[in-house]
């Protein structure tokens, strides 16, 4: 497991070196840098088959910084933050007796995602431009079930995104599409089981495998201030079962295989 993690860290370092090298060799900027902020909302659905589901609406903010170095290269820094009071539908297991009872309750969730990606223009045809981007990203999820049997969970991923993006310029309008695949580098889940009983130890599980997919389309309208845009999007994560982590009295805990989707829309503007 340590070998896999060290290999992933090496890949991330190489990516940063590539980004730094291109930045050092940047030419005069052909266009102003882009600073974009927006509001985001969507429906989240998290599932551990046979165990737990979370679902509901989340709202938040989204932002992009695009630093244009030359006509063929830019650096994109992307981030978003979402929060929601969603629904938990699962069960509670007594670790002493082994008894399982159903539980439905509200849950307070927030999730933060950030990416840094160098981007290259790989083709241009008439009004259409095509870009290839890759880089490194991180995702942090914090959820807390609102119940005496509930506890806080912290889930963090490091991933390597690679994607294709296109823009079509027609007068004062820009139409775009973005497709991204996320290679899962490593992740961990910290379960604060002491929230249910101070004598219970907290447990940290390592997640070795998974992948993500992100897709969005975009319509922007240019104006004197910059541009306004609307972007429907879809994000999917599928993460394999974790390694076993010791609990108490010879017991071990495993984070089950899980998947999550987020379907929503962003309204944003340049400034």
pLDDT tens digit string along 23-43?
A: 445 454 567 899 999 999 999
- pLDDT tens string 252-264: 889 999 999 999 9
pLDDT at 24 (0 to 100): 47
Retrieve residue 22's tokens: 């291109």
Confidence band of 98 (pLDDT split at 50, 70, 90): low
CA atoms of 108 and 178, how far apart (whole Å) = 30
Confidence band of 150 (pLDDT split at 50, 70, 90): confident
Question: In this prediction, what percent of the chain has a pLDDT beyond 70?
Answer: 87
pLDDT of 17 higher than 60 = no
pLDDT of 22 higher than 70 = no
92 or 230, higher pLDDT: 230
pLDDT at 251 (0 to 100): 84
Confidence band of 91 (pLDDT split at 50, 70, 90): confident
172 or 25, higher pLDDT: 172
Stated pTM of the model: 0.85
């Amino acid at each position: 497991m340590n070998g896999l993690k060290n290999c992933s860290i090496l890949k991330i370092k190489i990516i940063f070196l590539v980004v730094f090298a291109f930045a050092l060799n940047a030419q005069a900027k052909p266009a102003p840098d882009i600073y974009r902020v927006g509001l985001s909302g969507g429906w989240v659905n998290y599932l551990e088959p046979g165990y737990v589901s979370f679902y509901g609406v989340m709202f938040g903010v989204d932002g992009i910084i695009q630093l244009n170095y030359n006509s063929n290269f830019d650096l994109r820094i992307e981030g978003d933050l979402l929060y929601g009071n969603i629904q938990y539908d699962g069960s509670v297991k007594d670790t002493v007796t082994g008894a399982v009872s159903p539980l439905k309750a509200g849950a307070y969730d927030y999730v933060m995602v950030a990416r840094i990606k160098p981007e290259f223009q790989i083709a241009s045809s008439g009004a259409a431009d095509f870009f290839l981007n890759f880089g490194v990203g991180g995702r942090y999820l914090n959820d807390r079930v609102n119940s005496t049997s509930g506890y806080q969970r912290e889930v963090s991923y490091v991933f390597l995104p690679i994607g294709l993006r296109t823009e079509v310029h027609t007068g004062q309008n820009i139409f775009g599409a973005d497709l991204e695949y996320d290679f899962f580098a490593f992740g961990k889940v910290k379960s604060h089981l002491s929230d249910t009983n101070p004598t219970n130890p907290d447990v940290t599980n390592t997640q070795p495998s998974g992948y993500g997919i992100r897709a969005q389309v975009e319509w922007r309208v240019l104006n004197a201030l910059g541009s306004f845009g609307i972007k429907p999007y879809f994000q999917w994560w599928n993460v394999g079962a974790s390694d076993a982590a010791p609990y108490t009295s010879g017991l071990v805990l495993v984070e089950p295989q899980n998947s999550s989707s987020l379907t929503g829309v962003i309204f944003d503007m340049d400034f």
